Amino acid sequence: MGTPRKLFIKTYGCQMNVYDSERMAEAMGGQGYVTTDSPDDADMILLNTCHIREKAAEKVYSELGRFRGLKAANPDLKIGVAGCVAQAEGEEIMRRQPLVDLVVGPQSYHRLPELERQARAGGRALDTDYPEEDKFDHLAARPKARRGPTAFLTVQEGCDKFCAFCVVPYTRGAEVSRPVDRVVTEARDLVERGVREITLLGQNVNAYHGAKDGAEWGLARLIRTLARIDGLDRIRFTTSHPNDMEDDLIAAHGDCPKLMPYLHLPVQSGSDAVLKRMNRSHTAESYLRLIERIRAARPDIVISGDFIVGFPEETAADFEATMDLVRAVEYGQCYSFKYSPRPGTPAAERPQVPEDEKDARLQRLQALLRDQQRAVQDRMVGREVGVLFEKPGRSPGQMVGKSDHLHSVFVAAEGLRPGDMRRVRITSSAANSLEGALI
C-alpha cells in the first residue's frame, strides 16, 4: 500500500456525534485512511453535523463553501456530510452543494467505506436509511491502540419522546438500546486501552433497556455491572429525561461509588403551561421533587440542565416561573438556548416570541445560571475530591483534570501523568476552574 490517505473530520453537536466521529474514523482506517487535524492536506473531509438549532444547521453550508478552493486545488478530494443535517436534509445538500460527494446518516455510517468507494469511482452517494441491520454489528472491531483516560460509549440511540421543539426523533429515529454484553465488551476493551472513565451516551440514556439473556436491563443494572470492571474507576451517563429516572438509578447515585456525583437532567422550562405545550409530560413540581430524591441519595451531586427560552407563546410570567425553578434547584452547570423553530416540528407552527424578547430573557437567565455555577464551584474550596488528570495545565509542572463533580481542577505537582487519579484538596476557585493540591 502507498502512503495513507488523510481524513479530516469536523464534529458539531452533542457527544453522540463525537463518538460517531471516532467510529467513522476507525471505519475509514480500514480503508487505509489516517486522520489529520487540518482540511488543507486531506483526501477526504467529513462534516459530522448537528440539526438541533437553525444556526447549527446553517454552519454546514457556510463551512462547505469554504472547501471550494481545496477541491479546485485537489480534484481527488472527497467531501462528505454525516450526522443529523445529513439525515434531515441529505437530498437538499446534494442539490444545493455540488461539492458534496457523499451524504451518510447517523444510522447508516457503517456503510461509509462503501459510499467512499462509490464516490472515488466517480459517482455521488447518499445513504440516509434506517437499515434493518445494527450498524454496530457491521463496524470493524475497534483498534487496540492506547487511548486517553476518558471515553464516550454510546449505549442507546434515538428518541420516542417527540418534544414539540425537537428534531432528534426525526434525525435519529426510534429509541434503540445496544445489548448489555456488547456494551460490557466494548467497555472492557476501552479499559484495556487505558481508559479509566467512561461516559455512557444516549439521546435518552436513562431509557436504556438493553437485552441480556432474554431479559431487559435498565441503565442502573448496566452501570452496576460495568462498575465491576477492574481498572474502570468512573462512570457517568448523559443525557437523561426526568420521566425515565427510575428508583434504582437514583439509588445507584447513593450506593455505587464509581458512579460520579454529577447529573445532567434537562427540564427546559419552569412553567407548567409551557412544559405541556412542549409535550414534556412532567411538571415543574414533579421535576423539583425528583431533584430532592436524587439529592437525598447523593447530597453533594452537581445538577446540570438545559433550558429553552422564548418557546412559542411563552409569556413573561412563564419565563418568571423558569427563573423561580432555577433558583429552587441551584445548578452547577447549565446550557440555555433561545428557541429556534425547526422545520417539521409542531412548535415551529405556533405563534413566535419576538427575537428581542428572547434575547432579553436569555440574558437574564444566563446571568442567574452563571452566578449559580460560580457559587457551586466556590463551595468546593476546602473540600477533598478525586481528580482524574488528563493533560498539562497552563503553566509548567501543572496538570489539569476533572473532579468527580466534573469541575476542571489545576494542580501543580511533580511527576503527575495523564490517567493518574488522585485525591486533591481544593484551594481556590477561578472563573471556570478550580485549583488544588495533592493530599
347 or 388: whose CB is closer to ligand SF4?
347
C-alpha span between 203 and 180 (Å, rounded) = 17
**Is position 166 an interface residue for ligand SF4 (rule: CB under 6 A)?**
yes
Do 172 and 124 meet the contact criterion of CB atoms below 8 Å apart? no
C-alpha span between 302 and 434 (Å, rounded) = 15
Residue 215 vs residues 180, 244, 252, 371: alpha-carbon distances, Å: 10, 19, 20, 46
Nearest to 30 by CA among 102, 96, 109, 84: 109
Interface region with ligand SAH, contact rule CB under 6 A, candidates 112-120, 222-230, 337-345, 422-430: 337-345
Q: Which residue(s) pair with 107 in the sheet?
A: none
Q: Would the CA dihedral through 120, 30, 150, 136 be positive or negative?
A: positive
Give the footprint of ligand F3S on residues 112-171 (CB under 6 A).
167-168, 171
Instruction: Tell me the per-residue interface mask from 191 to 230 with ligand SF4, x by CB under 6 A, - otherwise.
Output: ------------xx--------------------------
Interface region with ligand SAH, contact rule CB under 6 A, candidates 161-169, 312-320, 386-394, 420-428: 161-169
17 or 108: whose CB is closer to ligand F3S?
17
**Is position 169 an interface residue for ligand SF4 (rule: CB under 6 A)?**
yes
C-alpha span between 318 and 310 (Å, rounded) = 9
Residue 436 vs residues 57, 383, 402, 422: alpha-carbon distances, Å: 40, 9, 12, 11
**Is position 161 an interface residue for ligand SF4 (rule: CB under 6 A)?**
yes
Interface region with ligand F3S, contact rule CB under 6 A, candidates 8-16, 58-66, 147-155, 289-297: 8-16
Interface region with ligand F3S, contact rule CB under 6 A, candidates 11-19, 264-272, 380-388, 423-431: 11-19
Instruction: Name the residue with cell 449559580.
Output: 372
Q: Is 84 annotated as a binding residue?
A: yes
**In sequence order, which ranges of 313-398 are alpha helices (DSSP H)?**
316-329, 355-378
Instruction: Name the residue with cell 450498524.
Output: 135
**Is position 238 an interface residue for ligand F3S (rule: CB under 6 A)?**
no
13 or 39: whose CB is closer to ligand F3S?
13
Q: Contact with ligand SF4 (CB under 6 A): which of 153, 168, 326, 388? A: 168
Nearest to 303 by CA among 372, 203, 248, 249: 372
Q: Which residues are annotated as a binding site for [4Fe-4S] cluster?
A: 14, 50, 84, 159, 163, 166
Binding residues (CB under 6 A) for ligand SF4: these are 159, 161-163, 166, 168-169, 203-204, 241
Q: Which residues are annotated as a binding site?
A: 14, 50, 84, 159, 163, 166
Binding residues (CB under 6 A) for ligand F3S: these are 13-14, 16-17, 50-52, 83-84, 167-168, 171-172, 203
